[in-house]
Amino acid sequence: MPVTILGLSPAEFAVVPAAVALVAVRLFPPRARRPVASAAAAVFAVSAVVAAVLGVRWQLAPVLAGGAVALALAVPTLLGRRAWPAGRWPAVAGSAACLALILAGGAVAWALPVPVFPEPSGPYAVGTTVVQWTDAGRAETATAARDDRRTVVVQLWYPARESPDAPRAHYLGRTPGEARAVARGAAAYLGVPGFVLDHLPMVRTHAVPGAPVAEGGGRFPVVLFSPGLGGVRTQNTAWAEELASRGYVVAGLDHPYDSAVVTLADGREIRTRVAATGDPERDERLAAGWTAVRAADLGFVLTQLARLDRGEIPGPLTGRLDTGRAAVTGHSIGGAAALQALRQDDRFAAAIDIDGFPRDPAPRAFHRPVLALTQDVRRGENPDYIPRLTEVLRLGTATDYLLTVPGSAHLTFTDAPLYLPPLPALAGSSGRTDGLRVTAAATVAFLDTVLHGRRDDLTAALSQYGELTVH
């Protein structure tokens, strides 16, 4: 995977000090100006060309613009001549403007870096594939067409054989075009200009598309994942790759008309239609309806995975899926859907609710174990969240676990800390990768226990990651 320095590639990082040096060349002693200008110009030019070949991010455009102007102003120095004739104050103002552009661009490039995904730590390499399935027995409620059936797009991450020379999967989509569409759709859903997330389609993950399944005759437990409201199937890619490297098959769902953008096999792009109204009671009813649709999607995908394992659906994982050991998970409203799917579908052996407010209007007992991971809720924020979640967990007849992760925020449990500004309100205060590490470690400890029976003391294992309550 690429090396980065403060979130910048080596070429991007080199452009910034070189551009600053070009701006400040007049401040050096006269005898040092020409050598400094020559070295800075060479580093700037070479680094800019390398960055352009690799793909210039919009965040770096101010740096390149400011550096180019500074390079033009440094031409007389490079040629050993007197500086361009100009008054002192215009020269100072021009230099200040160039410096402001360079520093602003560098700061934005640092705040919105190209994400580098952590290397999966398990014994398996990771493969991935994307499938599309239509539920012939369920109408699509988001459209008026009578013959429109509910369709979901599912990405599978699975244990694979090593493929060191194979190209890695694009982040956010099967192709650069799909990745750009998803990035633009996610930006629109967040209410920011579309170009803000344009750096994400440049990213490659660790998974290899279509890689051969890991050797051996064993069958892998399955973990289904539903993203947050408006979220997409890839929003927890680092987590999914880590689980796949540990011997699980992860199925991440795109929920059409809910996920920000879903690209279907025929090329259609379906945008989200979910939005809050501002009326708390109506929004609660809407959220309950969205959750019910997602829970039905999760049950349908588990059915399809069982058919895939039996060979009724062609695919590389035939005979390798242990759908008798299946867990259902989700983030935010996806976590609420996971809880509802667990309650209404006995095929799921356990659920993981990742910072999701329960949306079932009539909570009932769970008879299989649940792990709830929650953000570090500040006093006065979301006062109903933890009490409602605690009430739901107490209804369970199995052992349930509520783990609050210190320093976390709602997006800490997703890939977002890898590429969003490191603001505590957005991504928590635990750094770009710490939240990912804790999320993966806690969920693996839980899954190893409930699906494999490998751990004797799950309470001790979970307690090291935060404040744990056992119900």
What is residue 6's predicted lDDT score, i.e. its pLDDT? 75
What is residue 309's predicted lDDT score, i.e. its pLDDT? 97
For residues 250 and 298, the answer to whether their CB atoms sit within 8 Å is no
What is residue 56's predicted lDDT score, i.e. its pLDDT? 79
pLDDT tens column, 34-90:
888 899 999 999 998 988 887 778 888 899 999 888 888 887 777 776 555 555 556
What is residue 90's predicted lDDT score, i.e. its pLDDT? 65
CATH fold label, 125-169+204-470: Rossmann fold (3.40.50)
What is residue 55's predicted lDDT score, i.e. its pLDDT? 77
What is residue 300's predicted lDDT score, i.e. its pLDDT? 98
What is residue 340's predicted lDDT score, i.e. its pLDDT? 95
What is residue 380's predicted lDDT score, i.e. its pLDDT? 66
What is residue 70's predicted lDDT score, i.e. its pLDDT? 86
What is residue 144's predicted lDDT score, i.e. its pLDDT? 81
**Residue ranges of the chain whose pLDDT lies below 50:** none
**Which amino acid type is present at position 305?**
L
